[in-house]
Amino acid sequence: MFTGIVTDIGKIKALENRGDLHARIGTSYDTAGIDIGASIACNGVCLTVVDLGPDWFDVVISAETISKTNLDVWADGTRVNLERALKVGDELGGHIVSGHVDGVATILSLVDEGESTRVTFEAPEALAKYIAPKGSVALNGTSLTVNEVDGCRFGVNFIPHTKEVTVWGDAAVGDRINLEIDTLARYVARLRDFD
């Protein structure tokens, strides 16, 4: 489990397709404190550490994961949001995030408003019903509050701090973004289906 509070910006150092995609991700985390088998959210996707070095970790990404996420656009040098898994007693600063991406949203517009940037996304129709104004979503692993919803479109604001400590400062219209809907919204909708 994660919180959607990004704690490092990693960089893709190497990619190799061996049936599954093998990725080496550079990090400023103290890798001496990371175990083989640990989970790290990479742009919101929960991936398992399979090897470690002094400033990097390796993950293996299945074809299924690539088909459901935006990891197909990774290339050498791509910057990615990173978050280590929660430990008992950690502060829950965002919301409960599983790292199981539900689909991919697309950036439709970016508009500066004061120091912030308002971003409008389009979600897949099947997921739009789970997104509510003032509710939470995880976008590329970042816990965010939804401003407004209009059908499949929804908006969020990025404050300067978020743009500095995540890869959101690199965002552009047309980018495909990993979307994880709020777990609570998923279960409420599921229970409603049984009424």
Question: What global pTM score does this model have?
Answer: 0.93
- The string of pLDDT tens digits covering residues 113-165 is 999 999 999 999 999 999 999 999 999 999 999 999 999 999 999 999 999 99
Tens of pLDDT, residues 62-114 = 999 999 999 999 999 999 999 999 887 777 777 889 999 999 999 999 999 99
pLDDT tens sequence across 5-62: 999 999 999 999 999 999 999 999 999 999 999 999 999 999 999 999 999 999 999 9
Residue-range domains of the chain with CATH: 8-84 (2.40.30.20), 103-193 (2.40.30.20)
Structure tokens at 181: 């809907």
pLDDT score recorded for residue 178? 98
pLDDT at 161: 96
Tokens found for residue 57: 């970790």
